[in-house]
Amino acid sequence: MDIEDLQTFVAVADARGVSAAARRLGVSKSIVSRRLSRIEAELGVQLLARTTRGAALTEAGITFRDHAARASAEIDTARETILPAGDLRGRLRVAMPLSFGPTHFAPVLAEMAHQHPQLQIDTSYSDRFVDLIAEGFDCAIRVGYLQDSNLIAKRIGPIDGKLVASPDYIKTRGSPQTPAELVTHQALMQGTEAWQFMDGDKIFTVQPQGRFKADNATALAAAAVAGLGIAWLPDCITHDYVTSGALVPIMTRYPPPSAGAYVIRPPGQHPARKVRVLTEMLIKSFELNPHLWGLGR
């Protein structure tokens, strides 16, 4: 049985579709379909039931998937073992936030590509919520507070932030002094998120309201400078604005809990070595460049 056919089946099973698996593997959908047909013909059973939404595992496919995944993992481990020390090859698909990716994370990926010339790196920059499995990504970098999910997360560094508003907004609307007063103000938000604040060991949760929303932190900072409302933003976004006086920290007695940056990957017993290497490089980047994130200011 061809190992590429086996790995392709696992990719389709995990991504729940041919298109997502093809993106993850870096091949055409027709190649994926041919590999699936070969493995089903060799086994003499149907492993996947094609649907309008993608592909669903049959009973035989559910049973075979776990065995195929273990076999594929063993082959990957064997390949890594015989490669030159530290060498990586294959393809790494990464989803990164547009707000920080090009400026803060892209240099780490460039260094990774430089150190591993046989590795192909494919990066997507977007602030939308990416479905790693359905869209065929090996991992993603997410910033902020993590929601519960079946994905596996590794924290790579802290992200501190604060509430800010422009001097014009404060002059016109005033400055809230407590979390409860925020509900009477215009909030600049990414969606319908809740804001949390600390008072000693206690945490207060507020559901802010506002008419201006954007899925990008830089856009929210610009809206805050324009006097449209109050924003919760990371220090690395607001530092220059605060230094120049274009934005003013407010309600500093109740700071938000520290957030974080994370590498997220699909569930599995062991991460691929390329994901482990990227994670380690990102952790080191945080340690060596705290000024990029406004830490310690």
**Average pLDDT for 71-98:** 79
Q: What are the C-alpha distances in Å from 192 to residues 208, 211, 257, 293?
A: 8, 11, 18, 25
**Average pLDDT for 63-79:** 81
pLDDT in tens, 124-173: 998 888 888 777 788 999 988 777 667 788 999 988 889 999 999 999 99
Distance CA 204, CA 277 (A): 37
**Average pLDDT for 99-125:** 91
152 residue type, one letter: I
Torsion angles phi and psi, residue 53, rounded to 5: -95, -5
Q: Which of 290, 190, 204, 215 is nearest to 253 (CA)?
A: 204
Per-residue pLDDT at 262:
93
Distance CA 236, CA 49 (A): 48
Residue with tokens 């001097």: 167
pLDDT in tens, 228-264: 999 999 888 898 899 999 999 999 999 988 888 999 9
Task: Tell me the two tokens of residue 80.
Answer: 């890594």
The mean pLDDT value of the chain amounts to 87
Residue with tokens 């945490």: 203
Centroid of chain to Cα 284 = 18
Say if CB 40 and CB 6 are below 8 A apart: no
pLDDT in tens, 269-289: 567 888 999 999 999 998 888
Per-residue pLDDT at 99:
83
Distance CA 273, CA 85 (A): 12
Torsion angles phi and psi, residue 89, rounded to 5: -145, 175
Q: When comparing pLDDT for 91 and 83, which is higher?
A: 91
Say if CB 257 and CB 196 are below 8 A apart: yes
Residue with tokens 């090996």: 138
pLDDT over 60 at 297, yes or no: no
Instruction: Quickly state the pLDDT bin for 84 (edges 50, 70, 90).
Output: low
pLDDT over 80 at 36, yes or no: yes
Q: Is 43 helix (H, G, I), strand (E, B) or coil?
A: helix
Q: When comparing pLDDT for 191 and 220, which is higher?
A: 220
183 residue type, one letter: V
Task: Tell me the two tokens of residue 178.
Answer: 């407590």
Distance CA 264, CA 131 (A): 11
Distance CA 31, CA 143 (A): 35
Which neighbouring-strand residues pair with 93? 122
Instruction: Quickly state the pLDDT bin for 56 (edges 50, 70, 90).
Output: confident
Distance CA 192, CA 210 (A): 10
